[in-house]
Amino acid sequence: MTIAEPQPGGRAEARRAAASSGRRRKKKDRRRRVLMPVLVTTGALVLAGGGGAFLYVQHLNSNIKSGQLGAGNAPPPAGAADAQGRVAMNILVIGTDSRKGLGGGYGDRENVGDGNNDVNILLHVYPDRKAAVALDLPRDSLVAQPKCQRKDGSVDPAKTEYPLNYAMGRGGPGCVKDTVEAVTGLKIDSWLVVNFQGVKDLTDAVDGVEVNLCSPVNDSGSHLNIPAGPYKLNGEQGLQFVRTRHSVGDGTAIGRFGMQRAFLSSLLRKLTDKGTLLNPTTAFGVVEAATKALTVSENIAGTTKLVGLATDLKDIKPGEVDFVQPPTAFTEDHPNPEYRSKNRLVQPGSRDLFALIRADKPLSGTEDHSAAPQPSGAASSPAPAPSAPPAPSVNPATVSVTVLNGTTTPGLAGGAVETLGKLKYRAATGSTADKSVTTSTVRYARADQEAAAKAVAEALGLPGSAVAAGGTGSGVVVTFGTDYRPGGGPAAVAPSAVPVPTAVPTDAKVHQGDETGCTKVKTNGAMLE
């Protein structure tokens, strides 16, 4: 599927030219600093001095709401440490569809509680604190979700295949955090939640956010109506902009990420401009709006902790933030009618992308921010550009695969067939009377089919131990058991067991925070190419 992306030109084009020569372009402007939009604003607290600072900080503390970090599940291990003992930091930014504070506007008047987690962006900050990845997980992704403890102490049982944006309703932001950890294998250190009102207030506080569309947008769903070209959004339009989906991309929450990325990149550049946070007439309004807009995990609650977090991120520049979304596929043929407008994460592309991020490997450019320590006294030099992945030893077009669902969970076989089909395997669903299989298997009948069976297992995120001889017929037979986790891989596979790929999956688009070319949108029902 196609995601809205900038047209060639400006700093993005210069970066591509530099990358092609094996070197990442050096930025001359060392004064620019970048933070995730809702974090950077707290840095303006340094402007408050003397006795009044204490009272002001206390006031800001009263603005900030907090909640438990998790929902009762053990997190995955942290990443590797660098020579200075630093590990990557992961911050989950959750955007909810709660209408709280909007006076009944935007429909769904009853939705004034936590709402759904409609935006899920995981900010992965490299150990050296000089670059970051903003990983977007589409809200409608059907993923395995762990059990979650609710506010009243009761426990919502684990889900095998469930829309990601339902996690908030299962156990609040802590459940979203635990679910994203289960899907990506990344240990999340803290989370922040922003609702509709927060987006409006922050946009107005910075005196508008500039965007640049390649063609006009008039969306009846969000009521956004703006022309092509550079345009400054006010608070109301800012909210409309990030909510718009029917008239952009593929008309879904997946395609909407292009709009959200353009908005966040522009807001990020605005906030890191010294004219915003070093100007007393705007700085305090930004800080006030940001603290009112935030609900944060308990470990970063309070202005002092947020400023400390902002300080950790102060050396990241907009051009060093990569925005990326894992490859997905729609589920129009899902056996559950309620899930036919959803999507699933495509494997092995999604799994490989998560593995790259866990290993702190670069997604763009050539500079390696991984935690591997450099030899003492060694001269620093750019890491070589990632090489193309080796050619597969198995030709998928020659492999016949039958997929069986050995569980009571609907849609597993159909989803796997769709994934394999995209990889050019000849796959089809089969039927089985046994619905109590516990361990997934990939079986082959002839010795010359072993390599094909291993390739199929890898494509579906199944461990090598699932591959075994003893199949029947002329092809490979996959049988899913209750250990299988669609979208997140099988439960038995630890993230560390997944090999680190040599390049970003070809169906995952990467964009930088300093790209200023116009954003493509859908016009008259067709995507601009």
Could you give the 3-state DSSP secondary structure of residue 162? strand
For the segment 23-64, what is each residue's pLDDT rounded down to a tens digit? 333 433 333 333 344 444 443 333 334 455 667 678 888 888
Cα 53 to Cα 50, 59, 276: the distances in Å are 6, 10, 20
Cα within 13 Å of Cα(258), Cβ side: 28
pLDDT score of 494: 56
Report d(CA 228, CA 230) in Å as an integer: 7
Report d(CA 174, CA 176) in Å as an integer: 5
Higher pLDDT pick, 309 / 4: 309
**Selection from 421, 416, 415 nearest residue 397 by Cα:** 421
pLDDT exceeds 90 at position 304: no
pLDDT score of 15: 45
Of the pLDDT bands very low, low, confident and very high (cuts 50, 70, 90), residue 298 is: very high
Of the pLDDT bands very low, low, confident and very high (cuts 50, 70, 90), residue 67 is: very high
**Selection from 261, 206, 263, 269 nearest residue 240 by Cα:** 263
Strands 89-96 and 190-194, sheet pairing: parallel
**Cis amide linkage into residue 348, ω under 30° from 0:** yes
Kindly report the three-state secondary structure assignment for every residue of 138-154. CCCEEEEECCEECCCCC
Q: Which residues have a Cβ under 8 Å from the Cβ of 377 and sit 6 or more positions away?
A: none
pLDDT score of 523: 46
Highest mean pLDDT among 349-358, 472-481, 493-502: 349-358
Of the pLDDT bands very low, low, confident and very high (cuts 50, 70, 90), residue 16 is: very low
For the segment 115-150, what is each residue's pLDDT rounded down to a tens digit? 889 889 999 999 999 999 999 999 999 998 999 999
For the segment 153-166, what is each residue's pLDDT rounded down to a tens digit? 999 999 888 999 99
pLDDT score of 497: 55
Residues 502-526 have a mean pLDDT of 77
Of the pLDDT bands very low, low, confident and very high (cuts 50, 70, 90), residue 171 is: very high
Cα 5 to Cα 135, 140, 402: the distances in Å are 15, 21, 37
**Selection from 434, 436, 485 nearest residue 463 by Cα:** 485
Cα 204 to Cα 193, 233, 293: the distances in Å are 19, 9, 13
pLDDT exceeds 90 at position 91: yes
Residues 11-33 have a mean pLDDT of 40
For the segment 355-370, what is each residue's pLDDT rounded down to a tens digit? 999 999 989 866 666 6
pLDDT score of 496: 58
For the segment 325-346, what is each residue's pLDDT rounded down to a tens digit? 999 999 888 888 899 889 999 9
pLDDT score of 179: 95
pLDDT exceeds 80 at position 276: no
For the segment 281-297, what is each residue's pLDDT rounded down to a tens digit? 677 788 888 888 889 99
For the segment 197-207, what is each residue's pLDDT rounded down to a tens digit? 888 888 888 88
pLDDT score of 498: 60
Q: Which residues have a Cβ under 8 Å from the Cβ of 55 and sit 6 or more positions away?
A: none
Q: Kindly report the average pLDDT of the chain as a whole number.
A: 77
Strands 321-324 and 132-136, sheet pairing: parallel
**Selection from 360, 370, 389 nearest residue 505 by Cα:** 389
Tokens, residue 91: 């911050």
Residues 62-68 have a mean pLDDT of 90
The DSSP letter of residue 430 is: -
Percent of the chain residues topping a pLDDT of 70: 73
For the segment 399-445, what is each residue's pLDDT rounded down to a tens digit? 999 999 888 877 788 888 888 887 889 999 887 767 878 888 999 98
Of the pLDDT bands very low, low, confident and very high (cuts 50, 70, 90), residue 268 is: confident
pLDDT score of 289: 83
The gap from C-alpha 70 to its chain's centroid, in whole angstroms, comes to: 18
**Selection from 203, 195, 192 nearest residue 93 by Cα:** 192
Asked if 351 and 461 count as a contact pair (C-beta separation under 8 A), the reply is yes
pLDDT score of 324: 94
Q: What is the DSSP string of 168-219?
A: HHHHHHHHHHHHHHHHH-PPP-EEEEE-HHHHHHHHHHTT-EEEEESS-EE-
Report d(CA 199, CA 324) in Å as an integer: 21
pLDDT score of 163: 94
Highest mean pLDDT among 188-192, 213-217, 252-256, 415-419: 188-192
Tokens, residue 498: 């997944």
For the segment 458-492, what is each residue's pLDDT rounded down to a tens digit? 888 888 888 998 877 778 999 998 878 665 545 44
Please measure the distance between the N-terminal and C-terminal CA atoms of the chain and give it in whole angstroms.
Answer: 12
Report d(CA 248, CA 525) in Å as an integer: 9
For the segment 205-241, what is each residue's pLDDT rounded down to a tens digit? 888 999 998 889 888 878 889 999 999 999 999 888 8
Asked if 290 and 202 count as a contact pair (C-beta separation under 8 A), the reply is yes
